[in-house]
């Protein structure tokens, strides 16, 4: 019997790798993985427990305009965050807009510089 057991990685397209890395590494505190092979285009991988997040510096076929203001109504990835309140305050200090989850959970939605939606959920 066939069965899918876990998500191995998610990939997001980014137009400016340096700008994306400033967001994912500088704001979210992720560390790049040395495991990424040369794939013939720029990018970076991040280890998230047993899962990875891949940023691919490739042209994005999707428009950034017209996306829902609330990322929960758009395709998104969800990440568990320790120190969620610290992250929320960091977003506010840097003037990065976010919306709170409408589910009542301690979760927020934010977009990276390329409009990719992230759900950041309190892991505590």
Taking only the tens of pLDDT, the chain with its 124 residues reads 989 999 999 999 999 999 999 999 999 999 999 999 999 999 999 999 999 999 999 988 787 788 888 898 999 999 999 999 999 999 999 999 999 999 989 999 999 999 999 999 999 8
Q: How far apart are CA 39 and CA 56, in angstroms?
A: 10
Strand partners, 43: 56
At residue 62, the pLDDT reads 81
Domain ranges of the chain: 9-58+71-122
In CATH, what number does 9-58+71-122 get?
3.10.180.10
């Amino acid at each position: 019997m066939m069965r899918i057991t876990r998500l191995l990685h998610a990939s997001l397209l980014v137009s400016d790798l340096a700008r994306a890395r400033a967001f994912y590494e500088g704001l979210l505190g992720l560390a790049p993985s040395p495991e990424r092979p040369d794939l013939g285009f720029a990018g970076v991988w991040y280890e998230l427990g047993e899962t990875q997040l891949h940023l691919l510096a490739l042209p994005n076929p999707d428009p950034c305009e017209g996306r829902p203001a609330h990322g929960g109504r758009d395709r998104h990835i969800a990440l568990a965050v320790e120190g969620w309140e610290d992250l929320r305050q960091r977003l506010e200090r840097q003037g990065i807009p976010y919306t709170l989850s409408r589910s009542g959970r301690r979760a927020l939605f934010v977009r990276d510089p390329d409009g990719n939606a992230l759900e950041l959920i309190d892991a505590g």
